[in-house]
Amino acid sequence: MKLTHTLIICEKPTAAKAVAEALADDEPKKVGEKAFYYEFKKDGKKFVVVPAVGHLFTLKQSDKGWYYPVFNVEWVPSFKANKFASFSEPYYRNIEELAKDSGDVIIATDYDDEGEVIGYNILKLILGRKDALRMKFSTMTKEELLDSYEHLTKLNKNLIESGLARHYLDFYWGISLTRALTLAIKASAKRFRILSTGRVQGPVLHMLSKHEKKIKAFKPEPFWEIALDVRIGKQILPALYAKGKLWNKGEAEKIFGKVKSGPAIVKNIETKLMTQKPPKPYNTTALLADIYRYFGYSPQQGLSIAESLYQAGLISYPRTSSEKLPKDINYKKIITGISKIKSYEKDAKFLLSRDLKPEEGSKTDSAHPAVYPTGVYKKIGGKQQKVYDLIVRRFFAVFGDPAKRESQKIVLDINNEIFCISGKKTVEAGWTALYGKYAQREEILLPDIKQGSKLTVKKANMLDKETQPPARFSQGSVLKEMEARGLGTKATRAQILQILYNRGYIIGRSIEVTELGTQLANILEKYTPDVVSEKLTKSMEEMTDKIEAGKAKREDVMEEVKKRIIVISEDFRKKELKIGEELTKAVIATQDKQSILGKCNSCGGTLKVMKNWRTGKRFVGCSGYKKGCRTGFPLPREGVIMSTDNICPECKTPMIHVQPAGKRPFRMCLDPTCKTKADWLDKARLKKVQQESRASSKLAEQLKCSECQKSFKSKRALTLHMKMHSAKAKV
């Protein structure tokens, strides 16, 4: 067979386009539509660049039977294992066909353990080869892609082994424990309900559940604060009692009586200058936390946006642990490129006029540097623009001077009781000027005043307060906590968090663990503590890191983990019925909470989530429809729905929490025509939801047995019930 071309394999279609355009002597030729590839010549040789669409292979149980633990697994094409991955088959067939007459093969997937596994599986399972050349790059710029081609390396066997180990361990752990939980419910309650956990999901859920318990167990303590309004010249400024909280009401009242009429004598003026270093460059965790903090995008959504910017060549690879910028990139060239964008022109020119030495952190990554802009720019969407702006501003800020802030305190003596007026101001903006709106600082400027001055107390307040429970984790802060505890990796933390949302274990922007999540964490801790052990999970991460460093073998690590899973499974099986009983109670309690949304305003009945068996659409129906109540409301088609136990102040219908998979959660009332949704709908959409609402009411009325007036949640259940009446009549 004549070998006609060098085959370059990329991870995604956008990457294939970028590689082809960077390497081609002339314009590359795009061949095909749905699953395409690029042909071009370079130095007289023919090249073909073909994309995958992420993982073309997945692990699947190689034998039959619903048992646990499961270790009999094999790699199979994703489209054969999962109908939702059918889109990947044309890409698989494309590579299969192009491999037939290829000569050299170059792997140009993302350079990390996932990218290496994607490339290795294609190489081994489609091409039937063991080795290939490797392009290694951190940005999709033409310059770096060319350099990567000119300095080809070999596949990183240790990185492949580490990546394969993670896949096998996650599969063994996830499928075995999910089977165990599901079969426990089946054995106890004779019902089938899949409950899942995983190697990292379990410890993270347990961590969040423990925090939830602290919040719910918190008992507030009363305390009192004394606050004064003091006149200084034309300004009225707040002064607080220097000792802060007062835990005895009698003592608070005594002090309040002494100070409420003043006068206040300036006892001292204290000034302190603070220096703040520039921020460190972004790694994945810090970037996703800030994307959530400033824009509200979930970590999974934020990572997807950052990935699109990388694929477009605008930023470096966004999956990294590093807080260091590469020494060999040309900072001035990057900033010069960014200076062509009008909104950055002024700050870019300022940086170009000085020596560029970045502030850096201590964390490193063997594969990729910290996230930085490449200096290349093209038109992008609104969400992408926001994230790009944040990355550019952070990049600028790391080259800035330290910022200097001055804090000032005016110490007041009021009848021998000390109060303080606090102020703060920026003396030298330094890096904060480059960071822009992301570095906004509160400025409280105090007037000039001399020691010994007598001031008037205009107003005094004794405030009754209570201590507050620990703050809930946000989606940003929980990523940082996972990183600090060694749970998950830079590439998986966002996905793990999203899985917990999708499973209905957690809800809300301020993370709240649901009843099901809490009970699952409790049951696992009680009966199989290894499943939620942070120490065990961290040790497995360390094992895979040793494989990557060449200090351990994949087979040895996998055997060690298999032994642990076998012990856990045997112990679980002994307690299966008891675990199943407790899980069943948790599942039923959660289903009730999710299905019951509140009280019907029309008849006082119970509003419940129901489902149209024919269309699959969810709707809200009233338990009173057997008595003629026609109340009904449409519901969002996707996402976990939970009651909030609150009522809309406008329409008086129940408020619900909706958590769509992979999207921002939101809260809404049931009435689609409520004033609170005035800006949600145009007239055409309003008419449609009104029709849906009437249809929901009609369906609620229809799902009722004409013989006994008993109500049902689906048409199928009603049909079966009617057949029962028919059978009785024949008898």
Catalytic site residues? 317
Cis peptide before 263 (omega within 30 of 0): yes
Strands (E), 389-530: 403-414, 417-428, 454-466, 506-507, 512-513
Residue 309 is encoded by which pair of tokens? 């910017």
Are 169 and 558 in contact, with CB atoms under 8 Å apart? Answer: yes
Find all residues with CB under 8 Å of 535, minimum gap 6, and list them.
none
Are 618 and 608 in contact, with CB atoms under 8 Å apart? Answer: no
Residue listed under structure tokens 């101001």: 425
Which contiguous run of DSSP H or E holds residue 213? helix 201-217
Q: Are strands 5-10 and 73-77 parallel, antiparallel or unpaired?
A: unpaired
Find all residues with CB under 8 Å of 587, minimum gap 6, and list them.
185, 193, 195, 516
The residue among 453, 449, 431 whose CA lies nearest residue 359 is 431
Find all residues with CB under 8 Å of 241, minimum gap 6, and list them.
225, 226, 227, 255, 417, 418, 419
The dihedral sign for the CA sequence 463, 464, 469, 475: negative
Rounded Cα gap, residues 707 and 391, in angstroms: 66
Q: Tally the residues of the chain.
A: 731
Task: Please tell me whether residue 522 adopts helix, strand or coil conformation.
Answer: helix
Q: What angle do CA 260, 263, 269 make, to 5 degrees?
A: 110
Residue 101 is encoded by which pair of tokens? 């007459």
Find all residues with CB under 8 Å of 278, minimum gap 6, and list them.
359, 397, 398, 399, 400, 401, 402, 403, 430, 431
Residue 4 CB neighbour total at 10 angstroms: 12
Are 102 and 6 in contact, with CB atoms under 8 Å apart? Answer: yes
Are 57 and 97 in contact, with CB atoms under 8 Å apart? Answer: no
Rounded Cα gap, residues 574 and 569, in angstroms: 9
Rounded Cα gap, residues 524 and 445, in angstroms: 54
Are 483 and 299 in contact, with CB atoms under 8 Å apart? Answer: no
Are 16 and 50 in contact, with CB atoms under 8 Å apart? Answer: yes
